[in-house]
Amino acid sequence: MFPTIHRDVVCTFCGCLCDDLEVTVEGGRIRGVDNACELGAHKFTTEGRLKAPIRRRGGVWGEETYTAAIERAAEILLDADRPLLYGWSGTCGEAQSVGVQLAEILGGVIDATTSVCHGTSILAIQEVGHPGCTLGQVKNRADVILYWGCNPIEAHPRHMSRYTTYTDGFFLGNSHRDRTVIVVDIRRTDTAQVADEFIKIKPGGDYAVLSALRAMVRGKDDMIPPTVSGVSRQQLRRVAAICKSAQYGALFFGMGLTQTGGKYKNIRNAIELVDELNRHTKFTLTPMRGHFNVYGFNEVCTWMTGYPFAVDFSRGIAWYNPGETSAVDLLARRECDACLVVASDPAAHLPRSAVAHLADIPLVQLDPYPNATTAFAEIQIPVAVTGIDAEGTAYRMDGVPIRTRKILDLGYPDDRTVLQQMLERIREAKGR
Amino acid sequence: MTELLIRNACVIDPINGIRGETMDILIRDARIVESVSGRAEVIDAAGCLTLPGGIDSHTHICGTKVNFGRYMMPEDMRAGRTARQGGMHATSGYSVPTTFGNSYRYSAMGYTTVLEGAMAPLEARHTHEEFSATPLQDTMANTLFDGNWAVMEAVKENDVKRAAAIVGWTLSAVKGFAIKLTNPGGTEAWGWGKNVECIHDPVPHFEVSPIEIVTALVRANELLHLPHSVHLHCNRLGVPGNAWCTVDTFRHIPDLNPERQSLYATHVQFHAYGGSSWKDICSRADLVARAVNDRPQIVMDMGQVMFGKTTTMTADGPMEFNLYRLHHNKWSNHDVELETGSGIIPVYYSRKSTVNCVMWAVGLELALLTRSPWQCLLATDNPNGAPFVKYPEIIGLLMSRKYRDAELATLHPEAERRIALPAIDRELDWNEIAVMTRAGQAKALGLLPLGKGHLGPGAAADLAIYPVRIGEIDPSAEYRRVIEGFRQTLYTVKRGRVVSREGRVVVEGDNSTIWVKPRISEEYDMGRDPEFAKKFARYYTVRMGNYPVQEAYIRRSICIETEAEL
């Protein structure tokens, strides 16, 4: 059999959603992946999927049919008074949409991994807005790039070569020389090594440094002390001047800013710095989203419920109050009595107290692969991988929606199909 | 075969010259017919005002910036919540409701077709995804070309055919409906934090002026034989003294199509100001209305402002930033590579603000000073001027001088000296309202061939039955009854099925998306043009192969194919 080469394949690893991969398929298996970074290529070549749904009875795993597994999953959700539907970042929008409908009919809570990554960014955006753009604006125009609290070389390996530092743009013929790269972090990361300017701040010092820069952009640098969170006034002055004199500046930020002390207030400060810079030049800000479709969940959930994450339907209406309705809080309060986990691994990422409760309640997992959460699950239903053996919509970190491809057919149902079947059973049970 | 018989309806159907006749309407398989069998379902509409389904030719209900409006404003979401009920999903939001919220509320008001006013081609997939969750209206999307690099390069070369080819390829690729220009040239300038002043300013780096973009695309539009005309949001939105810029734009528009206008100017209220600053802003609706009265090639919509809270959202990024600097609440901006930009801010239109009072009056003046209702359609640029749920109040204002006077008495006293509204006696009649809210909209959008906007045999069976008895109401005096009557239909019928009854949705709905596909010769097929492909590959961040919106996103597709002269 001859190999088939699929071009312009979309990588469903991180929020970059690179769509220029070349994937070679031969004999129903992926033999090669070109253009992808190491993380993306690994996703395409990972093996070890479950063959069929598994269910644990009395501590022993056994295989189930899809019909029986879906039936049991629906029962678990129907029996619950306060079900939590969590995850969603590693699947397509079409599946997320069914997830929201499930939460609505069950009167449950739906939340995504957003609430432990860029949920804080959303809270800040809800206070002050978001001056942003698509990544091509940065590629074609930006002569100043700031990476704050993120390390794209390791986490988003093609970000700099596809969208920023190392790519030529319409107005930038010689990208690397024409752009100034500034990295702000608490340690000298690989990204910091390639920066023109590295601002090393003391842990927890982001808010103060952002405030100092804002003051300087406003022309009030005489009030800044000699050092701010370990950064010299001299360096801050230099950086403020670079930003103000940029033709076009782009600030990217990651969990180093969203999840440190100050949390959403840090982001609010960053947005207000960008806002201030827009009075002098053009400046934009973009969160470095992690999972390939975490932003997609925010979009889908918003157009369906009005809110981007942490939505509680127990009152019949969509109720949103992060801190009350977000997954970690709900689990830590031991409030929910069943959980459906889709396309994520909360056991590996949530705080211990939250994970402890997950272990105590009936849990259904939809995921192509077993992971740490599987250890707590009553049922795991293996599904197709969006972007490999299922297609669907994903939203890039800048909000550009892309249709992911299906390049293989391994016979697994996709998330949307399984969830839709669950929804049908629940609708029947509820008589609507 | 589904059949429906609506008995004794009081019908106004301007396209067919029916002005309040009592008649039966017969429907079979989603079309209006001349006879039905005895098995038809019967609705008794005795004496109730029955109109073709409402059409909104310019609204913002779906897509990236609409959704970002929701995303950034939980306070707006809390302002309008309904619980899941029967087949109805829970809804949230007042000025930017959820997709279901928009769809249910429009349907309750008798609207069956809506046009999303601005879709960035690169992000078109998002608009179509939201359309699929807007079940009760047929939808279509204006597609933004205001800052399109390839178009501007063609215009610079004075190559209208190439500009048309680029537009045609893009519309087909993104399943768009019409050419939208928002502050042409200005959104590209905003890529550098700048703007253009008016229609003769050069666009930075591209050596074209806004009016060159507009006139080239007006001609390109006709080469492509698109159903709708160019849909223009003029330059200088919201700036005192901009009426001259608007009129100057109108002066340059040729009359190219005998069937419909050559230019649709949207939310003209925002473009009809006199004065030189916020201190002396005044209405120049007279100037703009006169320009429209003199030119059959122009149709506009009011862009009426109503007092209260709302959200502004537009592809006009620089305008939103300037507005933000006045309001200091919150601001979002989203520029789209090679194509366009956008901005969103919340606003509160206050009766205590002279400027807001002038804005309120300008929209009404435009509608009352434009002689033909076919040339000034009713819209608020939802939600920019006001949420669409305010339409019944606007109808009341247009039909009743008494209502206007009552409202004028509550305005900032300074406002009265800057507007002409107190001197205008005209009161529109039922027929004119029907033109401004459906027949005129269908004609302007080029939807008459699809059977939209009228109730003659063969028409699409989209209609609205209101609890309004026009013979018993004097709209001039009893405007409250008019407003209440238009707030909620007794029945809204879409494709021959009752979709909502007294505001409650009774079926899941199954909307169609209307889009255009001009057939273009191989020579002008941009999909095969090496220069176009090369630039696409170099400057966009998605591959050309991943750019087109797949058919999978269109729930029910109504594709209008045209023969382009290319």
pLDDT digits (tens, 9 = 90+) for A229-242: 999 999 999 999 99
Q: What is the DSSP string of B292-317?
A: HHT-TTEEEE-----SEEEEEEES-H
* Cβ-contact A54, A194 below 8 angstroms: no
CA A402 to CA A400: how far, in whole Å? Answer: 6
Using the Cβ of B506 and the Cβ atoms of chain A, whether some distance falls under 8 Å is answered with no
| Residues of A whose CB is below 8 A from B539 | 136, 139-140, 169-170
Q: Which residues of B touch A105 (CB under 8 A)?
A: 84
Find all residues with CB under 8 Å of A37, minimum gap 6, and list them.
A11, A13, A18, A157, A158
Per the CB < 8 A criterion, the answer to whether A163 and A139 are in contact is yes
Burial tier of B417 (Cβ tally within 10 Å: 0-12, 13-18, 19+): exposed
Q: Is A56 exposed, middle or buried (0-12, 13-18, 19+ CB in 10 A)?
A: middle
Angle (CA) B302-B115-B70 rounded to 5° is 90
Two tokens, residue B302: 């009011």
Residue located via tokens 């190219």: B256
Q: Please give the Cα distance from B4 to B496 (Å, whole number).
A: 7
Q: Which of B308, B389, B303 is nearest to B103 (CA)?
A: B389
Whether A402 has its CB under 8 Å from any CB of chain B: the answer is yes
The answer to whether A299 contacts chain B (CB < 8 Å) is: yes
Residues A275, B331: C-beta atoms closer than 8 Å: yes
Instruction: State the Cα–Cα distance between residues B166 and A291, nearest whole angstrom.
Output: 35
Q: Residue A176 contacts by C-beta under 8 Å, 6 or more apart in sequence? A: A165, A166
- The C-alpha angle A307, A319, B327, rounded to 5 degrees, equals 50
Across the interface, of B86, B126, B330, the residue whose CB is closest to A128 is B330
| Pairing label, strands A83-87, A109-112 | parallel
pLDDT score recorded for residue A431:
86
Note whether A318 contacts B: Cβ–Cβ < 8 A. yes
- Return the H-helix or E-strand segment holding B42: strand B41-44
pLDDT, residue B327, reads: 87
Rounded Cα–Cα distance for residues B256 and B471 (Å): 41
* ipTM reported for the complex, 2 dp: 0.97
Cis ω for the linkage preceding B413 (within 30 of 0): no
The residue assigned the tokens 């927890």 is A204
pLDDT at A399: 97
The dihedral over CA atoms of A393, A36, A14, B537, expressed in degrees to the nearest 10, equals -60
Instruction: Give residue B551's Cα distance to chain centre.
Output: 24
Q: Looking at the complex, does the CB of residue B70 fall below 8 Å from at least one CB of chain A?
A: yes
State the DSSP code for A186.
S
Tokens 């429906």 found at = B4
Element (H, E) at B68: helix B64-71
Residues of A in contact with B84 (CB under 8 A): 104-105, 313, 316
No. of H helices and E strands in chain A? Answer: 18, 22
State the distance between the two ends of chain B, measured CA to CA, in whole angstroms.
42
- Candidates A129, A140, A298; nearest CB to B332: A129
Nearest one of B561, B565, B461 to B515, comparing CA atoms: B561
Residue B1 is predicted with a pLDDT of: 66
- Contacts for B328 with CB less than 8 Å, ≥ 6 apart: none
Beta carbons of A77 and A419 less than 8 angstroms apart:
no
Chain A residue at shortest CA distance from B130 = A303
A47: pLDDT strictly greater than 90: no
Q: Are A21 and B542 in contact (CB under 8 A)?
A: no
pLDDT digits (tens, 9 = 90+) for A289-313: 999 999 999 999 999 999 999 999 9
Quick count: other Cβ atoms within 10 Å of Cβ A50?
Answer: 17
Nearest to A402 among B101, B130, B542 (CB): B542
User: Do A126 and B542 make contact, defined as CB atoms within 8 angstroms?
Assistant: no
User: Are B89 and A140 an interchain contact pair (Cβ–Cβ within 8 Å)?
Assistant: no
Query: What is the rounded average pLDDT of the residues A161-170?
Result: 95
B205 contacts chain A (CB < 8 A): yes
φ, ψ dihedrals at B14, nearest 5°: -60, -35
Closest-CA distance of chain A to residue B308, Å: 20
Task: Please check the confidence at residue A85 and state whether its pLDDT lies above 90.
Answer: yes
* Nearest-by-CA chain A residue for B335: A133
Q: How far apart are the first and last CA of chain A?
A: 50
- Tens digits of pLDDT across chain B (566 residues): 689 999 999 999 999 999 999 999 999 999 999 999 999 999 999 999 999 999 999 999 999 999 999 999 999 999 999 999 988 999 999 999 999 999 999 999 999 999 999 999 999 999 999 999 999 999 999 999 999 999 999 999 999 999 999 999 999 999 999 999 999 999 999 999 999 999 999 999 999 999 999 999 999 999 999 999 999 999 999 999 999 999 999 999 999 999 999 999 999 999 999 999 999 999 999 999 999 999 999 999 999 999 999 999 999 999 999 999 988 899 999 999 999 999 999 999 999 999 999 999 999 999 999 999 999 999 999 999 999 999 999 999 999 999 999 999 999 999 999 999 999 999 999 999 999 999 999 999 999 999 999 999 999 999 999 999 999 999 999 999 999 999 999 999 999 999 999 999 999 878 999 999 999 999 999 999 999 999 999 999 999 999 999 999 998 999 999 999 99
Q: For A399, which of B70, B123, B552 is closest by C-beta distance?
A: B123
Mutation site, A94, A134, A396, interface B, largest B CB count within 10 A: A134
Q: How far is B261 from chain A (nearest CA, A)?
A: 34
Asked if A275 is an interface residue toward chain B (Cβ–Cβ < 8 A), one would say: yes
Pairs across A and B, CB distance < 8 A: 187
